Every structure is written in structure tokens, then in C-alpha cells.
Amino acid sequence: MQVVPARHRGDLGIEAFTYDGCAFQCYAAQEPIPVKERYEKQRNKLTTDLAKLEERQEKFVTLLGNVKIKRYMFMVPYFDSHELVQHASTKASEYRAKSLPHLDATFQIVVVDEDAYADVREEVLLKPRPLIEVQDHSPEEVAAWISANSRAVTTAERKLQRLIQDDPRRIQAIEGLIMQYIKGENALAHMRRKYPDNWERTTRYRNHKEQLLIFEYPSTDIGFNSLAKIAKEIEHELKEDVPALDSRLRNAIAWASIADWIMRCPLDFPSVAS
């Protein structure tokens, strides 16, 4: 298999190809979304990327050499609308009629989800090597984020003021949380591009955990020391749900989740008694 990088001079609409005529394109919609919206996003992505087969045919001919694409594999974490398969069939017929030099006369589009490669998926998910290198960020980057997201920072400040009356310590805590947020969210963005299956599993877990926060940690019972406990819980549960994540990545995602929940309100603290 030959990977096709997109960083230099743009995306050709495929992630990789094989020398026996299969091309691969991956897409993961931002979840959770309704079935109809998921279908529309998947349909639009497929249509947009297929158009590149014609718009950039000269580059494809150079890239592929003697290879002609027989199967265009559109890979998504999951799909639940037969209309996506119908759309793929219609577009395949349309592109066969174009007689493009790099497409085989039998050109087909196949929509596949992760279950089509269940054995390989499990093997990949269990690999011990780190998927993503978690990057540290400078104080200047944290300061820039704080400046650009004043509303979120104000929410965190209001909540933490109930627990940390000392201004320097509270500011330090906020900056630390935001550092963890940036690290974790950047790692997740990278994971979404490179490992959409693992990103999808992680996102589902985070959404589920957030929905349960109000029941597991009522604001009357939670203190600042509870945050470390919640982080450990998230790391443990992620290890079970997404075993491909290494310990450093699980830690970054756990603290990014906590920071996000503090800035967006699902996680709160008791008011100080007057």
C-alpha cells in the first residue's frame, strides 16, 4: 500500500492506494449527531472527494502510473443509512461514464465501516506503541488561548474562586488546566486525522462520561481534590474502552476533559457558605 500525504500542495481526495487498484479515503464526522445529519455529511464528503478524481486527473495519472483505480473504498467509523450506499452506486456509474484515464472500466465505490475490518481493527487497537505524541506548549501559547477565550476562562475563574480564595494559586490552577486542555485537544485533533476509529471511540466515551457527571459528582459533593480522582477514573475507563491509547495520551485526554467540563459548566463546585 502507498500512503498519499496531503500536507504538501493539497489533498487529492485519497489517503492511500494499492497497486492492484484500490484507493482509500477515510472520514469521521464530529459526533454525536442525528442519523440524517451523519448521512448528509458523509454523502457531501464523498461527493467532494470524488470530484477531485476529475479536477486533478493529471496529478492522479502521474501519481498512479500504470495503476487504474477499480475500487474506491470510502471508510467511515459507521453508517446507518442505505441512502449512502445508493449515492455511492450512482456516483460510481457517473464516474465510469467519464472514462477518466486513471479509472478502471469496472470502477466501483464501496462504503465500509470498522466492522468490515474487525480483526485488523482489534490488532491495531491493541498495539502498545503510542498513537500520538502529546506535545507540551509554552506559557505564551497558554496566554494567547486565554486571551482568545475570555468567556470560558471567566466561567472557570468563577467556579474555582469558590474553592481557592488565594488569587495567585487560583490563577496558577486555571493556567495549569488550560495547558492540559490545549495538550489534550490538540492530541485528539491529531488522532482524528490519523486514527479516526480510535478518535471515534474516545469521543463516544467522553460524551457518555459527561452525561453522567451530574449524577456521579453532584456539585455539593465535589471538591478540588476530586479532580484528580475523576482524572484517574477517566484514564482507567479509557484503557478499557480504547486500549490503543498509551498512558500519557490517556492522561492528557482525562485532564483536557476535566478542563473542558469546568469551562463549559457540566462540572461544578459547591458555593462557599457565607
Host domain of residue 24: 2-112
Domain boundary among 86, 112, 138: 112
Are both 9 and 100 inside the same structural domain? yes
pLDDT in tens, 19-31: 999 999 999 888 7
Instruction: Verify that 145 and 92 share a domain, yes or no.
Output: no
Q: Does 95 lie in the same domain as 148?
A: no
Are the CB atoms for 269 and 223 separated by under 8 Å? yes
85-124: b (≥16 Cβ within 10 Å) or e: eebbeebbeebeeeebebbeeebbbebeebeeeeeeeeee
Residues 6+ apart with CB under 8 A from 128: 246
Same domain, 167 and 85: no
51 and 12 assigned to the same domain:
yes
Number of domains observed in the structure of the chain = 2
Quote the percentage of the chain above a pLDDT of 70: 88
Cell of 256: 483536557
Q: What is the pLDDT of residue 121?
A: 65
Residue 220: per-residue pLDDT: 59
Domain boundary (112, 141, 162) is at 112
Q: Are 85 and 192 in the same domain?
A: no
Same domain, 107 and 134: no
Residue 148 lies in a domain: yes
Asked which of 112, 139, 168 is the last residue of a domain, the reply is: 112
DSSP assigned state of 20: T
Same domain, yes or no: 141 and 251: yes
Instruction: Kindly report, residue by residue over 189-242, the tens digit of the pLDDT.
Output: 998 988 888 899 999 999 998 888 778 776 656 666 778 888 999 999 999 989
Same domain? For 164 and 108 the reply is no
Angle between helices 150-161 and 139-148 (to 10 degrees): 100
Asked whether residue 62 carries a pLDDT value surpassing 60, the answer given is: yes
Same structural domain, 141 and 54: no
Is residue 223 within 8 A of residue 161, CB to CB? The reply is no
Grid coordinates belonging to 94: 457517473
Q: Are residues 85 and 132 in the same domain?
A: no
For residues 52 and 167, state if they share a domain.
Answer: no
Residue 274 has pLDDT above 60, yes or no: no
- Note the pLDDT of residue 10: 52
